[in-house]
Structure 1
Amino acid sequence: MKHVLFMLIMALCASTTIAQTADTASVAKLDPKLKKTLNASDQAAYQLALRFNDIGVAKMSLYNLIVRNPEDLRYVEMLGSVYYEAGQSMSAALVSMEVLKVNDKSIQSLEIAANSLEQVGALEKSLPYFESLYLLSGDNFSLYKSGFIQYSLKKYPEALNSMNILVKNAKPDEKVGFPKSQVETQEVSMKAAALNLKGMIYLDQGSKIEAKAAFEEAISLDPEFDLAKENLAKTN
């Protein structure tokens, strides 16, 4: 994991804005009609490559479009999505972070950067993106992820604050999935999940009475919540 984080940091230090890497002089010399024709060709190739699940061709078509249209962030955003859907978390994170340097309110790029950085274990770097995503979109799952990462990083006051907000604002139809086995997932209400995490925060701090109350409330909302039951047993 340390090796992965080191490679990420090195890549971040070495990266420059994608738009700046384009040979702008050569692009500027392109005849507008030729540029339009080449763009249409690459756009068609991209759509066809997605249809036939040829990720390599899809990425190459997008790179051609990015180089030829350095001012158009759409193609960079699309590239980030292709990398993310292909499970290439490192590349997805780096591409999306380039978009956010120019447009820090891109919901799509915030989602990809936050989740991709979390997937490669770069929690400190993923946290600000989850926090920004919640502030911009009001998405409660992003708030839950923020709180869980804060908890994982032992930022207990921040994590507790996030969960208190979530307990108050969680909607009845919002769910969070927890693995029961390698092939089975248990879904519980967002509020129950927030209460369970709140109990975990208290438990880590040695506050068993508060932890027990939080776990019991979570179980009262979702009586079959296995993880909350396991955590409740730790308070005895």
Structure 2
Amino acid sequence: MKKSILILFVNLMWLGVAVAQETAEPKPELPDNLRQRNETDQRIYEMAMRYNDVSVAKIKLYDLMERNPRNPKYAELLSSIYFEMEQYSSSALLAMDMLERDSKNITALEIAAYSLEQIGALERALPYFESLHLLTGDTFSLYKTSYLQYSLKKYEEALNSVNMLIKDKKAVEQTLSFPTEGNETQEVGMVAAALNLKGLIYKDQGSNNEAKVAFEEALAMNPEFELAKKNAAEL
């Protein structure tokens, strides 16, 4: 669910780069007292994260955000922390604020999309997943787009997205995890997952023959796909 968006180690590297750029760029030059405060807050933030004192880390990020409003990395880090702590409303609001300033901020798009999905705001999450796919070509974002469209009963849009995914050559190499009846997870090829979703869309529309074909195609690609087996049996 969280995918690669919220790996704090990566964000830490971004933060280091951002701070280095701020101190290296001669224009605009920060006053010495502000630069020193940035460096101090940076060190305290890193220590707080190292010792798992998230409350201190968040305070320092707020200080850095207020002092450096043009640097988006501090807000990205803070929204990532909120997401990891499952404070999804906070992470969503912060990410959406970032997107008002930069609608193509990939990190903010990911956090907004997944956070809104977590709190059940599927209608609001959908456009962020759509934007993610348009900007990155990421097949997982396209699958999420199609699944949310299906969940919202936007069947024609969902079918269009699923068909795009099935034709995407990158999807052949991707996998998704699905729960099994034994309370475990099963890795399934993304194309097979898309075909299973296509079957569900047809089933909801009452097109059982088309649904059966889609489920059979999914099982032809992944014969042990438990969810596809269950869906085919229910027809």
TM-score, scaled relative to structure 2: 0.85
Q: Deviations over 1:173-192 (max 9, x none)?
A: 20011112585111100000
Mapping of 1:177-216 within 5 angstroms?
Answer: 177-180=177-180, 183-216=183-216
Match of 1:171, SS?
Answer: helix
Kindly provide the amino acid, as one letter, of the partner of residue 106 in structure 1. N
Offset, 1:71: 2.1
Partners of 1:41 and 1:217 lie apart in 2 by: 59
Unaligned stretches of 5+ residues in structure 1: 1-30
Q: Deviations over 1:32-69 (max 9, x none)?
A: 11111111111111111111111111110000001111
2:53 pairs with 1:54:
yes
Match of 1:98, SS?
Answer: helix
Task: Tell me which moved more, 67-76 or 147-156.
Answer: 67-76
Residue 148 (structure 2) aligns with: 149
Cα distance change, pair 188–160 in 1 and its aligned pair in 2 (3 A): same
Match of 2:172, SS?
Answer: coil
Kindly provide the amino acid, as one letter, of the partner of residue 145 in structure 1. K
2:126 pairs with 1:120:
no
2:225 pairs with 1:225:
yes
Segments of 4+ moved more than 4 angstroms? none
Partners of 1:182 and 1:68 lie apart in 2 by: 51
Kindly provide the amino acid, as one letter, of the partner of residue 231 in structure 1. N
Are the equivalent residues in 1 in contact too, given 2:126–2:149 (CA < 8 A)? yes
Are the equivalent residues in 1 in contact too, given 2:165–2:171 (CA < 8 A)? no
Are the equivalent residues in 2 in contact too, given 1:46–1:62 (CA < 8 A)? yes
Match of 2:206, SS?
Answer: coil
Match of 1:118, SS?
Answer: helix
Are the equivalent residues in 2 in contact too, given 1:55–1:86 (CA < 8 A)? no
Residue 175 (structure 1) aligns with: 175
Match of 1:172, SS?
Answer: helix
* Aligned residues between the structures: 205
Partners of 1:71 and 1:227 lie apart in 2 by: 47
Q: Deviations over 1:113-141 (max 9, x none)?
A: 00000000000000000000000000000
Partners of 2:84 and 2:47 lie apart in 1 by: 16
Kindly provide the amino acid, as one letter, of the partner of residue 43 in structure 2. A
Mapping of 1:1-236 within 5 angstroms?
Answer: 32-169=31-168, 170-180=170-180, 183-235=183-235
TM-score, scaled relative to structure 1: 0.84
Partners of 2:38 and 2:181 lie apart in 1 by: 47
The Cα RMSD (Å) is 1.2
Partners of 1:51 and 1:183 lie apart in 2 by: 34
Partners of 1:196 and 1:218 lie apart in 2 by: 6
Kindly provide the amino acid, as one letter, of the partner of residue 82 in structure 2. Y
Residue 10 (structure 2) aligns with: none
Cα distance change, pair 181–40 in 1 and its aligned pair in 2 (3 A): farther
Match of 1:213, SS?
Answer: helix
Cα distance change, pair 220–182 in 1 and its aligned pair in 2 (3 A): closer
> What's the % identity of the aligned pairs?
56
Residue 28 (structure 1) aligns with: none
Partners of 1:60 and 1:145 lie apart in 2 by: 33
